[in-house]
Amino acid sequence: MSEEVMNELKRDYLYSLILKNQRADGRGFEESRDIVIKTNIIEKAEGSASVKLGDTYLVAGIKLQLGTPFPDTPDKGVIITNLELIPMASPNFESGPPGENAVELARVVDRGIRESHSIDLKELCIVPGESVWLIFIDIHVIDDGGNLMDAACLAAIAALLGVTVPAKKYGIGEDFKLPVRDIPIAVTAVEIDGSIVIDPSIDEGRIAGAKLTVTSNIDGSISAMQKSGVGFFTPEQINYVADVAIKRSEELREKFLEL
């Protein structure tokens, strides 16, 4: 993947702003960009959602199919999460099989949903060892405006909340709404020159050292975390990010009550 070059002037400007406790778009360090979530936008999918987070725009679609369970979990349905960084979204993205960034994003989204037990996989079992529901969560990044992680997690859970299980189509009873037990929400922060800012814009993401995503649940517990980027955090910074992420996720969760 080729990387865009950022000019020194802009880089220095962003750093100098951080030193003055400011951000290029006027946000506070703990403030995230505006979020617009729309659900059920793709009729052919069993569930779908689009998320606009600042300049970032992406779409998640959920398809359900019957399939066989994994041998080690014969009585559980299967979640398969995939994320595509399609070339139209950024000059940095190339077509072809998912690269490490796409794989990482998808796996962290998956981990949040799986570990929060928001979907009870046992309820998706039809005949143990033979037939279970496979839930495919596919996320397409349409426009990369930074912080794809948080947008992708929001889209995935928003889409899941609207899923109707197509039982009738497969001749196994009436359609029903997929029960969702938790709303895991990811909040990402980056470290820039010793300061921590949440919901990094694309430019902030590029000058950042390390990045930390914290996915938290309704009860305030944490279900997934991921540090990425070449850089490090002190233990104090990690506790701080966890704190902010849990608080922010509560605010975001209220968005879902409006859906």
Partner 1 sequence: MDKPEKFIIDGIRLDGRKPDELRPMKIEVGVLNRADGSCYLEFGKNKVLAAVYGPREVHPRHMQKPTTAVVRFKYNMASFSVEERKRPGPDRRSIEVSKVSREAVEPMIFTEYFPKSAIDIFVEVLQADAGTRTAGINAASVALADASIPMRGLVSSCAVGKVDGELVLDLMKDEDNYGEADVPVAMTPDGEITLLQMDGNLTKEELKKAVEMATEGCKQIYKLQRDALIERYKKDLEEHKEEVELVEIIAESEETSIESTIDNTDESGGLNDE
Q: Which residues bind partner 1 (CB under 8 A)?
A: 2, 15-16, 19, 98, 100-101, 103-104, 106-107, 111, 114-116, 209-210, 212, 217, 220-235, 238-239, 242-243, 246
The whole-angstrom separation of Cα 205 and Cα 30 is 15
Kindly state the smallest distance separating residue 241's Cβ from partner 1, in Å. 10
Q: How far is CA 110 from CA 8, 94, 105, 149, 177, in A?
A: 37, 23, 9, 11, 20
Kindly state the smallest distance separating residue 28's Cβ from partner 1, in Å. 21
Kindly state the smallest distance separating residue 247's Cβ from partner 1, in Å. 10
174, with CB counted inside 10 A (0-12, 13-18, 19+), is exposed
In this complex, which beta carbon is closest to partner 1, that of residue 117 or of residue 168?
A: 117
The whole-angstrom separation of Cα 139 and Cα 50 is 9
Q: Considering Cα of 238, then 244, then 248, then 250, what sign does the dihedral take?
A: positive
In this complex, which beta carbon is closest to partner 1, that of residue 30 or of residue 104?
A: 104
In this complex, which beta carbon is closest to partner 1, that of residue 1 or of residue 36?
A: 1
Kindly state the smallest distance separating residue 227's Cβ from partner 1, in Å. 4
The whole-angstrom separation of Cα 23 and Cα 32 is 11
> Which tokens belong to 59?
């779409």
Kindly state the smallest distance separating residue 176's Cβ from partner 1, in Å. 27
In this complex, which beta carbon is closest to partner 1, that of residue 2 or of residue 21?
A: 2
Other Cβ atoms less than 10 A from the Cβ of 152: the count is 27
In this complex, which beta carbon is closest to partner 1, that of residue 12 or of residue 143?
A: 12
